[in-house]
Structure 1
Amino acid sequence: MQNTNKKLFEETPVPQAVQTMMIPTIIGALVTVLYSLADTLFVGMMNDQIQNAAVALAAPALLAFNAVINLFGIGSSSMMSRALGRGDLKTVCASASLGFYGTVVSGALLSALCYIFMQPFVVLLGGDINTAAATTAYMNWAVVCGAIPTILNVVMGYMVRAEGASLHASIGTMSGCILNMILDPFFILPWGLGMGAAGAGLATFLSNCFACCYFFVLLRVRKKKTNINLNPKYLSLTKEIVFGVMEVGIPAAIQNLLNVTGMTILNNFVAGYGSSAVAAVGIAQKVYMVPIQVALGGTQGVMPLVGYSYASKNKQRFEETIQTVMKLLVPCMVLIMVLCWIFAPSLIRLFMKNEEVITYGAMFLRGFCTCMPFMLVDFLAVSVFQSVGMGKTALVFAILRKIVFEIPAIMILNKIFQASGITYAGFVSEFILSIFAVILLRRIADGFERRNEK
């Protein structure tokens, strides 16, 4: 075992190191959201609101996958980065092994639960007599069959990135996404198999299987250059390894479950305005995923640099990494916010020509996009907390975001402004939270040496 990217973590100028880790991650994240948009785009070409609503209603179920991804992807990669910073390569290998096998077991469990409780689950997501059949058909492929490969390829990307191989991690994720976009029209549209929403789910399942195969081949080819080994003999369930991964992973997973809860509540409120509103909010959420993935890709892409610098007690590199991300991405978020606001109707029209859906969708998208710059600051703070092992602080942020601020704001704004007010709940939450984020990041930097001594 060896630290093959020590130069990147310790010697490469910070702006260059940040771009090396961040750019492939952002590109990979954008390709990921493009394939998600492709599902909505091709289903929308059928001009069937039921099929489009089915994809929108199933979105929280797919978002729930991120709970497992965060548990084992963020948990194990954070542990790996900090272990690399300390030069503890045995822990790097053990953490990766726990992440892999934990993902497989958890994915299988999610598949089984969804299969057994499909009907009440679809109702919980907001499905009704009109949309239940299409939603179930989509979820049979995307969730029941697809849970393990969908989750595993992202977790493996996290682990590969933790060693500094950001480009390979992004290629692995992108390969599945590109295949998905190729398969979508054939499976979804009438000139192909004409499966509608179910076809989108099948394409997602097959493409994620392909992405997993890429990572298996990559690890085989790079077996002398990586500390990630999938041989079960490297699996360690010692207290140090399990607690180290779970300390960050469990709060990250809970954070995602809270996101799913928030989206489900939002969808249920929107469902009260009819199927056109449900289809519209689904499209708006898919478009909004573009800036979200830019923010997530940028902030999570530098997690290995942050964690390594923190563990190796390099305060200057730690602070400069955070500052560089802010300087690069906050202006980017402002620009995207302005463009989304101006071109909201045109963006919705790309996916569906129904005028009622376009009106609702533009209104929802404009509400979503107002929080973008503040969201970036909040995402960065959470990534830093996760990188340095402050999982509990990240969890507090998640509780504040959804339980304390956003969900009450949804209820209050819906009561006062109806549908037009619902989507500004995110702005309320992210704006308040960004103030706390700046304060806590400053405190981490100020107490850097003291924290590392502990």
Structure 2
Amino acid sequence: MAKEVNKEVFEVLPVPQAVAKFVVPSLASTLITIIYSLADTLFVGMLNNPSQLAGLTVAFPYYQFLNAFSSLWGVGTNSVMSRALGEKDYDRVSKASSHGFWGSLVFMAVVCVIFQILEKPLLYVAGASAQSYDSASVYMLIVFVIGGIPTVLSIVMSNLLRAEGHAKSASSGLMLGGLLNCILDPIFIFGADMGVAGAAVATLISNCVSLIFLIVVYIRIRETSYITLKPFPGGVSWKLIKDVILVGLPSGCLTVLGATGCIIQTSLYSLYGDAAVAGWGVVNRISFISIYTVHGVAQGVLPLIGYNYGAKNFKRVRSVNKCAFLITEILAWAIMILSLIFSAGIIKIFINDAATIEAGVQIMRKYMLCTPFMAIVLLVSTLCQAVGKWQYSLIMLAIRQLVFNIPITFLLNSLFAMKGVASGQPTTELICFIGALFVYHRCFYRAMNKEELLSKKVS
């Protein structure tokens, strides 16, 4: 059977409709992922034990490392595949899909062993106390060390499918895992009386089910797809692996740097007790609503941008970008306003402990001010990756975290204590927002204008 790509969606369908076709399933998947990320915190919080919630908060940044590795391989492979599809280089599409899948598997096998060896110092650096260490340790063992490979492979697999236009199937697999996690959490946490360990087991099972579902989807479409899971057809191509990693590196670094910043913030909040750490844990999860929303929009438009950039249809690329900015900012402002108005009620949903609620409200009303600015910074980063301009994205994100966020957070902590820690992110994002606008102009206007002129001269 002939292999085919839905060219009408990529090339002909009006931009708002094409964006909706990709972004709606991606946002639906993101919504489930948000619920997924909140579920563990919500159900563990119902134990009304700040130490267990603090343990989950301490371990969670390391779970974010799994998202980083997923982005490294998934976003990188998606971008390489999308641009190759636009260039009609179908052999490269197949090889990229295989290298992305098997490369991520080998990579994660090594990483899981390293994290198991370094578990104790990693958790104490993140702010674990004598009371919260056991909870953090068991969560990290089950979710990261045992469950790291299926977690990463499920997200990489969804990116392979999305690159070829199978947005609904890619999103359905992740949604299935998220819904299953919400069902299993109370069963293991309360029914089996496992506490934090129950949340970890539920997450592990859910990610395995997602991976199985996505592999079944691939098996059903493989006769008409350029995706292949045959290990490294034609041999290992280190150049292709390099291309995948370099394009995916900014997304991976974004999450690693974000997780590192979260570890530092958690460590600083630990100076003010387990209630502050638990309150920060809730705020951190709420902030993920905005992060995952931007991620959902960006992942949705990434194949459209990559394909049309590869086909040198720059007018369509710019139109897709405008739609992405509009959707992202509307959602970001809505999230910020709601979180500021209902901060106390939101914290109370997760844990009914007076000290934790008080600390959480103070943190939320400062921290969530970053949302509209952060949305633009993260979106610009992903748009740069979509067209292979990974250098812009990487430099911008490294400066954001290392030059601004970490030093500013330490400085404000020394000046204003806990409220200063919460103010570090908004201050950083406001500065980086200005830089992101400059990067976008340079990457999408100056660079594409030059390429358009070259294309006209060649033709």
Cα deviation, residue 187, structure 1: 0.5
Q: Report the Cα distance in structure 2 between the residues aligned to 1:120 and 1:246, rounded to whole angstroms.
A: 28
Residue 336 of structure 2 corresponds to: 337
Tell me the residue number matched to 1:408: 407
Aligned to 2:33: 32
Unaligned runs of 5+ in 1: none
Matches within 5 A, 1:28-67: 28-67=29-68
In structure 1, give the amino acid aligned to 2:343: A
How far apart in 2 are the matches of 1:144 and 1:447? Answer: 42
Q: Whole-Å Cα distance in 2 between the matches of residues 67 and 332 of structure 1?
A: 23
Q: Which residue of structure 1 lines up, in the alignment, with residue 259 of structure 2?
A: 260
What TM-score does the superposition give when structure 1 sets the normalisation length?
A: 0.96
Deviation at 1:450, TM superposition (A): 2.5
C-alpha separation in 2, matches of 1:235 and 1:171: 32
What per-residue deviation string (whole Å, max 9, x for no partner) do you get for residues 54-95 of structure 1? 111111110111221122111111100110110111111111
Alpha-carbon contact 2:251-2:382 (below 8 Å) kept = no
Higher mean displacement: 229-238 or 61-70: 229-238
In 2, Cα distance between the equivalents of 1:30 and 1:387?
22
- By how many angstroms is 1:53 displaced? 0.9
Distance in 1 (CA, whole Å) between partners of 2:10 and 2:235 is: 26
Structure 1 residue 225, shift from structure 2 partner: 2.7
Q: 2:31 is matched by which residue type in structure 1?
A: L
TM-score, normalised to structure 2, is 0.95
Provide closer, same or farther for how the CA distance between residues 235 and 360 of structure 1 changes in structure 2, counting only shifts above 3 A: farther
In the alignment, residue 348 of structure 2 is paired with which amino acid? R
Moved more, 93-102 or 241-250: 241-250
- What do the CA deviations read for 1:103-127 (whole angstroms, capped 9, x no partner)? 1112222221222222222212211
- Which residue in 2 is equivalent to 1:140? 141
Checking the alignment, whether the CA contact within 8 Å between 2:99 and 2:231 is kept in structure 1 is: no
Alignment of 1:215-364 (within 5 A): 215-232=214-231, 234=233, 236-364=235-363
Give secondary structure in 2 for the equivalent of 1:232.
coil
What's the secondary structure of 2:308's corresponding residue? Answer: helix
Q: 1:178 aligned to 2:179?
A: yes
The 1:235/1:368 distance shift into structure 2, 3 A limit, reads: farther
**Is the CA contact (8 Å cut-off) linking 2:26 and 2:171 kept in structure 1?**
yes
Q: Which residue of 1 aligns with 2:79?
A: 78
| Identical counterparts, % of pairs | 34
- 8 Å contact kept, 1:141–1:205: yes
Contact 1:97 1:229 in 2 (8 A): yes
CA–CA distance in structure 2, aligned partners of residues 427 and 121 of structure 1:
27
Partner of 1:20: 21
SS in 1 for 2:60: helix
Offset of 1:236 from its aligned partner?
4.5
Task: Tell me if structure 1 keeps the 8 A contact 2:78–2:163.
Answer: yes
Q: 1:252 touches 1:391 (CA, 8 Å); kept in 2?
A: no
How many Å separate the matches in 1 of 2:319 and 2:380? Answer: 14
Shift of 1:390: 1.2
Match of 1:106 in 2: 107
**1:97 is matched by which residue type in structure 2?**
S
| Residue pair 1:94, 1:236 contacting (<8 A) in 2 also | no
Give 1:203's aligned residue: 202
Match of 1:47, SS?
Answer: coil
Looking at structure 2, the residues matched to 33 and 403 of structure 1 have their Cα atoms a distance apart, in angstroms, of 27
**1:4 shift after superposition:** 1.5
Whole-angstrom CA distance in 1 between matches of 2:72 and 2:250: 8
2-structure distance, mates of 1:381, 1:360: 33
The one-letter amino acid paired with 2:399 is L
Report the alpha carbon displacement of residue 411 of structure 1 after superposing the two structures with TM: 0.9
Report SS of the residue matched to 1:121: helix
Does the 8 Å CA contact 2:247/2:389 hold for their aligned counterparts?
yes
Shift of 1:235: 6.3
How many Å separate the matches in 2 of 1:344 and 1:214? 37
Cross-structure match for 1:435: 434
Q: Which moved more, 1:129-138 or 1:340-349?
A: 129-138
Gap change, CA 1:165 and 1:235, over 3 Å in 2: farther
Which amino acid counterpart does residue 112 of structure 1 have in structure 2?
V
Matched, 1:158 2:159: yes
* Inter-partner Cα distance in structure 2 for 1:235 and 1:182: 43
Is residue 55–residue 138 contact of structure 1 (8 Å, CA) maintained in 2?
yes
Cα 1:252–1:233 shift into 2, 3 Å: closer
Q: Structure 1, residues 204-250: CA drift from partner, whole Å, max 9, x if none?
A: 00110000000110001111232111112526532441232122123
Q: Distance in 2 between matches of 1:5 and 1:435?
A: 37
- Equivalent AA in structure 1 for residue 198 of structure 2: G
2: CA distance, partners of 1:253 / 1:293? 14
Q: Distance in 2 between matches of 1:14 and 1:420?
A: 43
CA contact (8 A) 1:283 1:351 kept: yes
Q: Which one-letter code corresponds to 2:389 in the other structure?
A: M
Cα offset for 1:155? Answer: 1.0
| Alpha-carbon contact 1:77-1:159 (below 8 Å) kept | yes
CA distance in 2: counterparts of 1:28 and 1:230, whole angstroms: 23
| Cα distance between partner residues in 1 of 2:118 and 2:326 | 46
Q: Which runs of 5+ in 2 are unaligned?
A: none
Q: Deviations over 1:230-283 (max 9, x none)?
A: 112526532441232122123432332211211111111111000000111001
Cα RMSD between the aligned structures?
Answer: 1.5
- SS at the partner of 2:48? coil
Equivalent residue number for residue 379 of structure 1: 378
